[in-house]
Structure formats: structure tokens, C-alpha cells
């Protein structure tokens, strides 16, 4: 497939930018962070919670960029403190900190399906992305062969494979950022069912867009979260007309149930369904990799 259907951006890095690393725990994110920033890093705590956020800087083509390493997360449905930081940073609700200009979305190639779950949520946020596959050597050993080109055309973002432990991993990533660039993924590529899509649109239009300050790109994913949670208990941003939201969420849950979907599970189920389908084209298993 041609690259023409990727919305590639290459000029972003001419200006000083904030490059943010995001991915599941244990994907090599911090190794990449260390390689990119060398010793120019500092560690900060997020207010009120004892989770580390690491900041550093790196030079690409003579321009100094800020690099942020977010806590590893399995999902953006932030219930745990560290995942919450990741979510809030990505939707841009920490106002004392710049929004990420571009993301290095780090995925463990030996465990691609579960990693793609978080990735599919992150890609809904419409931030420019370069997808970075790590652990390809382990995947190889298990007979799992990932085709970066296919992954790239399936999700419409540039993809590179790096060995995070190699000495020149920072160079590989910098070269990819220059040569392949980054792309803004299309939101909702995972084909939400029609009822789920309708429910999200209604919550966005009738409440989120009117009674919160959330940026437009973050509202659909927040709508999904609220519908799955069934309420506003866990919200971290200012809003008005909470009573209206509760009623609306309840009626949307009933609407989904009437359509035969479990409101709590609909998003997760559909994302994994899409990921399994897509993985058939971009992942192949040479031999049985069952562990004994």
C-alpha cells in the first residue's frame, strides 16, 4: 500500500517541541528515554501522587526538544494514579505543562495485541505519532514476525522497529523522525459499533462540548470513558450541569443495552475485535509458540 494515505508531517521538528513517550509498562520506554536524553534529565513528581515523570531534552537537527517519559499504562481509562497522569497529560489538562506536540508510541512487538489496545486509545487523541516497535528480537525468538509496513498502513502512522538496548537507538529514532516524520492518526479507526458511535456523539454534543473545557480532540475518548463508568464520580476537570450529564449517561447506557451491547464492556470488546482482525495481516507466526 502506498504511503500517500498517511497524513505525514515532517516540519514539526523545525521548532522546539515536546516529544512524549507513551506505552505499556516494560516496553523499553525508559531505555529509549535515557538514550535520547543522555544525562540531561530531571525527575519530577506529579502533585499529590507519588508517581515519577521524567523530563529531559534532546537535539534533533540542531533544534533542542523537550522529552517526557510518561508512566507506563495499560489503558487510558485511568483508575490508577499512574495511568491517570498519562491520560491527563495526553488530553492536555495539566495546564502548567505543555501539551505533547508529538508522541513516540512505544509497543512491545512480542506482545502486540495487548500493546495495541492502549495504542488504539492513544491514537483516538489525534496527536502526531511515530510508532516505535521494540523487543523484535524476542518476538523473533518466539517465531512472531511483525511487518512494520503493514502495521503502518493499517493504522496510518509511520512505524519503525528499534532495538532499545542497542547503542544507536537514539540515532535510529531521530532519523526516523526526520525521514518518516509523524502522522496524526484518524480517530475511531477501530470501527466502534453504530450504537456506541451514536452514544459518544450525543454525549459529546449535548454535554461535553457545552459544559466542560476539554479540547475537542479529547471529548470522544472521555465520552467513551464516562459511558463505561456510568457516571462522573472520577472526573478531574471542571464541569457544570453534572445532573444533566448523569441523566444523559444513564439514558445512553440504556440505549446501548437495548441495542444488545454491554455499556461497560462495549469499547474494550470492539477495540480488541478490531486489533485481532488487523493483526492477522501484520503479524505472522512461523511456528507454534505455545509455552510448555
Residues making contact with other proteins (CB under 8 A):
74-75, 77, 79, 110-114, 117, 142, 144, 228, 264-265, 268-269, 272-273, 289-291
Alpha-carbon distance of 267 to 176, in angstroms, equals: 32
Of 164 and 224, the one with the shorter C-beta distance to other proteins is 224
Of 62 and 260, the one with the shorter C-beta distance to other proteins is 260
Of 220 and 263, the one with the shorter C-beta distance to other proteins is 263
Tell me the closest approach of the beta carbon of residue 114 to other proteins, in angstroms. Answer: 5
Write the CA distances from 80 to 85, 86, 97, 122, integer angstroms: 9, 10, 21, 17
Tell me the closest approach of the beta carbon of residue 291 to other proteins, in angstroms. Answer: 6
End-to-end CA distance of the chain: 38
Alpha-carbon distance of 173 to 164, in angstroms, equals: 10
Of 158 and 263, the one with the shorter C-beta distance to other proteins is 263
Tell me the closest approach of the beta carbon of residue 285 to other proteins, in angstroms. Answer: 9
Length, in residues, of the chain:
292
Alpha-carbon distance of 32 to 143, in angstroms, equals: 24
DSSP 207: I
Tell me the closest approach of the beta carbon of residue 27 to other proteins, in angstroms. Answer: 12
Confirm if 119 and 274 have CB atoms less than 8 A apart.
no
Of 179 and 286, the one with the shorter C-beta distance to other proteins is 286
Tell me the closest approach of the beta carbon of residue 224 to other proteins, in angstroms. Answer: 11
Amino acid at each position: 500500500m502506498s504511503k500517500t494515505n498517511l497524513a505525514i508531517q515532517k516540519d514539526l521538528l523545525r521548532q522546539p517541541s515536546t516529544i512524549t513517550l507513551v506505552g505499556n509498562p516494560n516496553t523499553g520506554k525508559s531505555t529509549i528515554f535515557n538514550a535520547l536524553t543522555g544525562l540531561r534529565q530531571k525527575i519530577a513528581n506529579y502533585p499529590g501522587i507519588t508517581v515519577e515523570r521524567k523530563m529531559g531534552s534532546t537535539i534533533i537537527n540542531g533544534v533542542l526538544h523537550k522529552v517526557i517519559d510518561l508512566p507506563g499504562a495499560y489503558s487510558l481509562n485511568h483508575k490508577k494514579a499512574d495511568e491517570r497522569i498519562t491520560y491527563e497529560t495526553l488530553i492536555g489538562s495539566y495546564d502548567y505543562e505543555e501539551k505533547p506536540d508529538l508522541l513516540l508510541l512505544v509497543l512491545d512487538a512480542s506482545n502486540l495485541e495487548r500493546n495495541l489496545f492502549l495504542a488504539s486509545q492513544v491514537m483516538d487523541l489525534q496527536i502526531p505519532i511515530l510508532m516505535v516497535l521494540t523487543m523484535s528480537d524476542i518476538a523473533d525468538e518466539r517465531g512472531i514476525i511483525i511487518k512494520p509496513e503493514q502495521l503502518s498502513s493499517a493504522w496510518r502512522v509511520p512505524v519503525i522497529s528499534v532495538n532499545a538496548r542497542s547503542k544507536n537507538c537514539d540515532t535510529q529514532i531521530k532519523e526516523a523522525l526526520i525521514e518518516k516524520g509523524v502522522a496524526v492518526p484518524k480517530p475511531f479507526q477501530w470501527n466502534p459499533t453504530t450504537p456506541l458511535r451514536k452514544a459518544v456523539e450525543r454525549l459529546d454534543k449535548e454535554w461535553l462540548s457545552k459544559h466542560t473545557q476539554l479540547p475537542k480532540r479529547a471529548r470522544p475518548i472521555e465520552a467513551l470513558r464516562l459511558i463505561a463508568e456510568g457516571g462522573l464520580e472520577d472526573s478531574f476537570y471542571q464541569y457544570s450541569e453534572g445532573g444533566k450529564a448523569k441523566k444523559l449517561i444513564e439514558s445512553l447506557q440504556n440505549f446501548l443495552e437495548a441495542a444488545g451491547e454491554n455499556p461497560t464492556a462495549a469499547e474494550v470488546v470492539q477495540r480488541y475485535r478490531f486489533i485481532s482482525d488487523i493483526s492477522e495481516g501484520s503479524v505472522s507466526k512461523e511456528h507454534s509458540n505455545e509455552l510448555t
